[in-house]
Amino acid sequence: QVQLVESGGGMVQAGGSLRLSCAASGYTLSNYAMGWFRQAPGKERGGVAAIDADGHTSYADSVKGRFTISRDNAKNILYLQMNSLTPEDTGMYYCAADLAIGMTAEQALGADHYGMDYWGKGTLVFISS
Protein backbone atom coordinates (compact mmCIF):
# COMPACT_ATOMS: atom_id res chain seq x y z
CA GLN A 1 0.00 0.00 0.00
CA VAL A 2 1.42 3.33 -1.06
CA GLN A 3 1.70 5.97 1.64
CA LEU A 4 3.15 9.46 1.58
CA VAL A 5 3.80 11.31 4.81
CA GLU A 6 4.95 14.93 4.81
CA SER A 7 6.85 16.65 7.59
CA GLY A 8 8.97 19.72 8.19
CA GLY A 9 6.37 22.44 8.02
CA GLY A 10 6.23 25.24 10.54
CA MET A 11 6.34 28.96 11.01
CA VAL A 12 9.35 31.05 10.02
CA GLN A 13 10.01 34.70 9.35
CA ALA A 14 10.29 36.07 5.86
CA GLY A 15 13.72 35.43 4.46
CA GLY A 16 14.08 32.18 6.34
CA SER A 17 14.32 28.60 5.15
CA LEU A 18 12.53 25.32 5.66
CA ARG A 19 13.07 21.81 4.39
CA LEU A 20 10.05 19.64 3.82
CA SER A 21 10.27 15.87 3.71
CA CYS A 22 7.95 13.29 2.21
CA ALA A 23 8.51 9.73 3.34
CA ALA A 24 7.24 7.24 0.80
CA SER A 25 6.36 3.63 1.47
CA GLY A 26 4.87 0.85 -0.60
CA TYR A 27 6.82 1.68 -3.74
CA THR A 28 10.23 2.93 -4.93
CA LEU A 29 9.92 6.67 -5.39
CA SER A 30 12.93 7.00 -7.68
CA ASN A 31 11.13 5.00 -10.38
CA TYR A 32 8.29 7.50 -10.80
CA ALA A 33 7.46 11.17 -10.97
CA MET A 34 6.69 13.02 -7.77
CA GLY A 35 5.81 16.56 -6.96
CA TRP A 36 5.23 19.13 -4.25
CA PHE A 37 2.00 21.08 -4.40
CA ARG A 38 0.85 24.09 -2.44
CA GLN A 39 -2.58 25.35 -1.49
CA ALA A 40 -2.61 28.87 -0.16
CA PRO A 41 -5.61 30.19 1.80
CA GLY A 42 -8.46 30.89 -0.59
CA LYS A 43 -6.59 29.59 -3.61
CA GLU A 44 -6.52 26.41 -5.63
CA ARG A 45 -3.79 23.86 -5.12
CA GLY A 46 -0.99 24.13 -7.64
CA GLY A 47 2.34 22.55 -8.44
CA VAL A 48 5.46 23.99 -6.86
CA ALA A 49 8.18 21.54 -7.87
CA ALA A 50 8.41 18.13 -9.45
CA ILE A 51 10.97 15.48 -10.30
CA ASP A 52 10.72 12.55 -12.66
CA ALA A 53 12.32 9.12 -12.77
CA ASP A 54 15.27 10.45 -14.79
CA GLY A 55 15.96 13.11 -12.20
CA HIS A 56 14.74 16.00 -14.30
CA THR A 57 13.11 18.75 -12.29
CA SER A 58 10.54 21.42 -12.97
CA TYR A 59 9.51 24.43 -10.89
CA ALA A 60 6.76 26.97 -10.74
CA ASP A 61 8.00 30.40 -11.85
CA SER A 62 7.28 31.84 -8.41
CA VAL A 63 9.79 29.54 -6.69
CA LYS A 64 12.56 29.20 -9.28
CA GLY A 65 15.94 29.95 -7.76
CA ARG A 66 14.57 29.64 -4.22
CA PHE A 67 13.21 26.08 -3.94
CA THR A 68 15.01 22.83 -4.70
CA ILE A 69 13.37 19.43 -5.02
CA SER A 70 15.49 16.36 -4.41
CA ARG A 71 15.22 12.78 -3.27
CA ASP A 72 17.17 10.29 -1.23
CA ASN A 73 16.75 7.03 -3.07
CA ALA A 74 18.23 4.94 -0.27
CA LYS A 75 15.79 6.37 2.27
CA ASN A 76 12.87 6.66 -0.16
CA ILE A 77 12.33 10.28 0.86
CA LEU A 78 11.46 13.30 -1.25
CA TYR A 79 12.61 16.74 -0.10
CA LEU A 80 11.78 20.34 -0.80
CA GLN A 81 14.38 22.86 0.31
CA MET A 82 12.78 26.28 0.53
CA ASN A 83 14.94 29.39 0.87
CA SER A 84 14.24 33.12 0.89
CA LEU A 85 10.69 32.46 1.99
CA THR A 86 8.05 35.15 1.66
CA PRO A 87 4.53 35.43 3.12
CA GLU A 88 3.26 34.43 -0.34
CA ASP A 89 4.77 30.98 0.26
CA THR A 90 2.32 30.36 3.11
CA GLY A 91 0.06 27.38 2.59
CA MET A 92 -0.47 23.69 2.98
CA TYR A 93 2.19 21.70 1.15
CA TYR A 94 1.42 18.26 -0.22
CA CYS A 95 3.59 15.68 -1.87
CA ALA A 96 2.12 13.48 -4.54
CA ALA A 97 3.21 10.56 -6.65
CA ASP A 98 2.12 9.12 -9.95
CA LEU A 99 2.92 5.54 -10.82
CA ALA A 100 2.52 5.96 -14.56
CA ILE A 101 5.64 5.02 -16.48
CA GLY A 102 7.26 7.96 -18.23
CA MET A 103 5.53 10.89 -16.60
CA THR A 104 7.77 13.91 -16.98
CA ALA A 105 8.51 16.47 -14.31
CA GLU A 106 6.65 19.08 -16.34
CA GLN A 107 3.57 16.86 -16.51
CA ALA A 108 3.72 16.21 -12.76
CA LEU A 109 4.07 19.92 -12.02
CA GLY A 110 0.93 20.71 -13.99
CA ALA A 111 -1.15 17.85 -12.62
CA ASP A 112 -4.36 18.42 -10.75
CA HIS A 113 -5.73 16.19 -8.01
CA TYR A 114 -6.80 13.49 -10.45
CA GLY A 115 -3.52 13.68 -12.33
CA MET A 116 -1.54 12.14 -9.52
CA ASP A 117 -2.25 8.72 -8.08
CA TYR A 118 -1.34 9.28 -4.44
CA TRP A 119 -1.32 12.26 -2.10
CA GLY A 120 -0.05 12.88 1.38
CA LYS A 121 -2.11 14.69 4.00
CA GLY A 122 0.03 17.80 3.86
CA THR A 123 2.21 19.91 6.12
CA LEU A 124 1.48 23.53 6.97
CA VAL A 125 3.94 26.31 6.21
CA PHE A 126 3.41 29.82 7.56
CA ILE A 127 5.70 32.69 6.73
CA SER A 128 5.42 35.79 8.88
CA SER A 129 6.34 39.21 7.56
What digits encode the pLDDT tens for the residues 9-44?
A: 999 999 999 999 999 999 998 999 999 999 999 999
**Torsion angle in degrees (nearest 10) through CA of 119, 1, 18, 125:** 40
Q: What is the DSSP letter of 14?
A: T
CB 22 within 8 A of CB 95: yes
Diameter over CA atoms, the chain: 42
Say what the pLDDT of residue 22 is: 98
Vertex 101, ends 91 and 6: CA angle to 5°?
Answer: 25
Say what the pLDDT of residue 114 is: 81
Say what the pLDDT of residue 12 is: 98
Say what the pLDDT of residue 112 is: 85
Kindly give the parts of the chain with pLDDT less than 50.
none
Instruction: Give CA separation, 54 vs 51, 96, 98, in Å.
Output: 8, 17, 14
